[in-house]
Amino acid sequence: MAESFGADAERYDRARPAYPRELVARIVAASPGADVLDVGCGTGIEARQFRAAGCRVLGIDPDARMAAFARRGGIDVEVATFEDWEPAGRTFDAVVARQAWHWVDPVAGLAKAARVLRPGGLLAVFAHVYQPPAEVAAAFAAACRRVLPGSPFAGESRPAAEIYDVMFTGFADAIAKADGLGSPDRWRFAWERTYARDEWLDFLPTTGGLTRLPPAALAEVLSAVGGAIDELGGSFVLPYTTLAVVAGKS
């Protein structure tokens, strides 16, 4: 699944939201310099944000299609998993990973991050957390039960905030035990975005459970979700929380 997102890189880049400017600014301010390594950079959404903040960014991504898209946006990208990537003696002021650290081996990934960080450098792992309105979520789950009966999306009842809190607590615990990294801090940024029906239906196919669905099955899911949004008046406000775990090189 980790390498399925490049099936429609243009949609991914168009539909996936950027990251809070406050998060980017805080990472830049906490780093000793401007050289940033972006792990799992995808199409370069956050890489372009760091570049706009004055950073020099090198991206790493295992999907050549995503890397090619990011390069068209002016981002230098090397195709590899982080575990297999060879730094060749290069070091960085910050190592960042958005929506991607859960694909990285927790032991090997942290060891490599510590290895390539300069003294005082910063590791920052971050992701968006969101929960659509109950009506939209229910329509999505029901459609997934029909077309993806074995999928976690079909049976998951826990709030997204709970799932991500467990995930980020795990990230922080692993960092706390890793050699070469200091005690982790956790940051939180709250914001919201209004989604029209077509915007949300553009976003959904970029999510992990749907990237590999056959066209007919995907159309069924999108039709059900679109109907639920129509009943809400054609749009909804989605609260986002962007979570981050950060740690300096010890």
State percent of the chain over pLDDT 90: 82
Dist. CA 65–CA 10, nearest whole Å = 10
Concatenate the DSSP letters of all residues of 111-125 into one string: HHHHHHEEEEEEEEE
Cα 170 from chain centroid (whole Å): 16
Max distance between CA atoms of the chain, in angstroms, equals 56
Q: Which of 25-29, 115-119, 194-198, 210-214 has the lowest mean pLDDT?
A: 210-214
Mean pLDDT of 29-44: 97
Per-residue pLDDT reduced to its tens digit, 135-183: 999 999 999 888 877 766 655 567 888 889 999 999 999 999 999 999 9
Mean pLDDT of 18-38: 98
Sign for the pseudo-dihedral over CA of 75, 78, 80, 86: negative
Task: Please choose, from the candidates 60, 59, 55, 52, the residue with its C-alpha nearest in 3D space to the C-alpha of residue 21.
Answer: 52
Dist. CA 125–CA 5, nearest whole Å = 19
Dist. CA 118–CA 109, nearest whole Å = 16
Domain ranges of the chain: 5-132+159-192+239-248
Residue tagged 């309105």 (tokens):
133
* Angle of CA points 14, 71, 204, to nearest 5°: 25
Per-residue pLDDT reduced to its tens digit, 191-216: 999 999 999 999 999 987 787 788 89
Q: CB under 8 Å to 207, separation ≥6 — which residues? A: none
**5-132+159-192+239-248 CATH fold:** Rossmann fold (3.40.50)
Q: How many helices (H) and strands (E) does the chain have?
A: 10, 7
pTM: 0.92
**Residues forming a β-bridge with 196:** 235
User: What element of type H or E holds 153?
Assistant: helix 152-155
Tokens standing for residue 8: 């429609």
